[in-house]
């Protein structure tokens, strides 16, 4: 079996590493902070990010990117704002004579450039003078459940059909089933935009507005995500699949969703600073709400739910007023995309 390197020892990176190592793969897990790598090696558990998952013997923690260079597949599981730096540092160490197979597990886009991780990987490959073959892994997958071996289904997308098919085989296990796709843009944007809708879902829960409202939010939220994805070159069918509807449902309804939890707390009167200060884990929807809103404006796409979440997160609008604004918008035909 191929040797796998995981860049990022947060909750999802650790979960991927634990899951794949438990399935018999040889895995190296890189942590940015030396003290975290040392703690992982000494205690055999990531007490900060994934305390209930023991690290299998075939999983090696490290804080050295050089320890990853002989891995066959590199999974990058860091927040979107750190993706470029981490990948850049790694690629400069990757052997020149061997193409790098980079799989993004990041659900976000760059705030400054609005670049998807696929574009970032392309740019950093050129900058490092390395050949990079890119894929993205996404879908409904909570870290805790993945690490525990709960049956999980996701999608692996690459513009190279053979690469997607090969990675589908290399990374699937008895409890992680992967489907392949060639729609990199759709898969990346589906995983990014759903986090903003999940904050809105938390607002609805926190305001105790009921299942009618939540069902409406999920449906109209999927419309928003689909509109943006198509405008950016994604395929419509992707958004009714695992990286679209599947991930949206999980993140908007699951109690383990960090983005949903933020919405719940906002509806209860807490500030963004108070909520995000409670955890070291990154909720991508807070940062990416601005980026998605800017991208939508750039593409001429209407995203009213996203716009209201930006108002709540950054402009002081109350969650209740945001819901009211959505409900009193101009009436229109449902089929309009």
96-136 pLDDT per residue, tens: 999 999 999 999 999 999 999 999 999 999 999 999 999 99
**Structural element, H or E, at residue 41:** helix 34-43
Q: What is this structure's pTM? A: 0.96
Q: Is 1 helix (H, G, I), strand (E, B) or coil?
A: coil
Q: What is the mean pLDDT of the chain?
A: 96
Closest to 244 in 3D by CA, of 308, 148, 179:
179
The reported pLDDT for the residue numbered 280 is: 62
The reported pLDDT for the residue numbered 335 is: 78
- Alpha-carbon distance of 160 to 211, in angstroms, equals 41
- Alpha-carbon distance of 101 to 115, in angstroms, equals 19
240-249 pLDDT per residue, tens: 999 999 999 9
Q: Is 69 helix (H, G, I), strand (E, B) or coil?
A: coil
Q: Which residues contact 235 (CB under 8 A, 6 or more apart)?
A: 183, 186, 229
Closest to 71 in 3D by CA, of 36, 40, 31, 101:
101
What DSSP string describes 109-141?
--TTT---HHHHHHHHHHHHT--EEEEEEESS-
- Give me the active site residues, please: 194
CATH of 4-182, one of 2.60.40.10, 3.40.50.2300, 3.40.80.10, 3.40.50.720: 3.40.50.720
pLDDT band at 80 (very low <50, low <70, confident <90, very high): very high
**Structural element, H or E, at residue 104:** strand 100-104
271-310 pLDDT per residue, tens: 988 888 776 666 788 989 999 999 999 999 999 999 999 9
pLDDT beyond 70 at 21: yes
Domain at 185-327: CATH code:
1.10.1040.10
CATH 3.40.50.720 residue spans of the chain: 4-182
67: buried, middle or exposed (CB in 10 Å: 19+, 13-18, 0-12)? middle
Q: What average pLDDT score do residues 137-159 get?
A: 98
DSSP 98: S
The reported pLDDT for the residue numbered 282 is: 62
The reported pLDDT for the residue numbered 337 is: 59
289 C-beta neighbours (distance < 10 Å), count? 27
Share of the chain above pLDDT 90, in %: 94
231: buried, middle or exposed (CB in 10 Å: 19+, 13-18, 0-12)? middle
Q: What average pLDDT score do residues 231-255 get?
A: 97
Q: Which residues contact 67 (CB under 8 A, 6 or more apart)?
A: 28, 30, 60
The reported pLDDT for the residue numbered 175 is: 98
pLDDT beyond 90 at 173: yes
Share of the chain above pLDDT 70, in %: 98
The reported pLDDT for the residue numbered 279 is: 65
CATH 1.10.1040.10 residue spans of the chain: 185-327
- Residues linked to residue 54 through DSSP beta bridges, in sequence order: 45
């Amino acid at each position: 079996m191929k040797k796998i390197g995981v860049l990022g020892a947060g909750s999802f990176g650790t979960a991927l590493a634990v899951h794949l190592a438990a399935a018999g793969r040889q895995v190296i897990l890189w942590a940015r902070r030396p003290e975290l790598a040392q703690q992982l090696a000494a205690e055999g558990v990531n007490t900060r990010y994934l305390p209930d998952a023991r690290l299998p013997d075939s999983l090696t923690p490290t804080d050295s990117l050089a320890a990853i260079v002989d891995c066959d597949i590199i999974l990058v599981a860091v927040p979107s704002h750190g993706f470029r730096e981490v990948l850049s540092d790694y690629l400069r160490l990757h052997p020149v004579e061997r193409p790098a197979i980079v799989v993004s597990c990041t659900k976000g886009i760059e705030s400054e450039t609005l670049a998807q991780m696929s574009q970032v990987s392309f740019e950093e490959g050129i900058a490092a003078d390395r050949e990079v073959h890119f894929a993205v892994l996404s879908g409904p997958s909570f870290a805790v459940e993945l690490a525990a071996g709960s049956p999980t289904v996701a999608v692996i997308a690459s513009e190279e059909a053979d690469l997607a098919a090969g990675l589908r085989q290399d990374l699937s296990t008895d409890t992680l089933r992967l489907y392949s796709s060639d729609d990199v843009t759709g898969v990346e944007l589906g995983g990014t935009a759903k986090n903003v809708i999940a904050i809105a879902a938390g607002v609805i829960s926190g305001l105790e507005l009921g299942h009618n409202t939540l069902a409406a939010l999920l449906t109209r939220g999927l419309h928003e995500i689909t509109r943006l994805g198509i405008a950016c070159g994604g395929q419509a069918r992707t958004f009714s699949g695992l990286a679209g509807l599947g991930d949206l449902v999980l993140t908007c309804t699951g109690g383990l969703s960090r983005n949903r939890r933020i919405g719940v707390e906002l509806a209860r009167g807490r500030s963004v600073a108070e909520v995000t200060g409670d955890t070291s884990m990154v909720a991508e929807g807070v940062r990416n709400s601005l980026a998605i809103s800017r991208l939508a404006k750039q593409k001429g796409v209407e995203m009213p739910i996203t716009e209201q979440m930006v108002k709540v997160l950054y402009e002081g609008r109350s969650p209740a007023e945001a819901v009211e604004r959505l409900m009193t918008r101009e009436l229109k035909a449902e089929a309009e995309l």
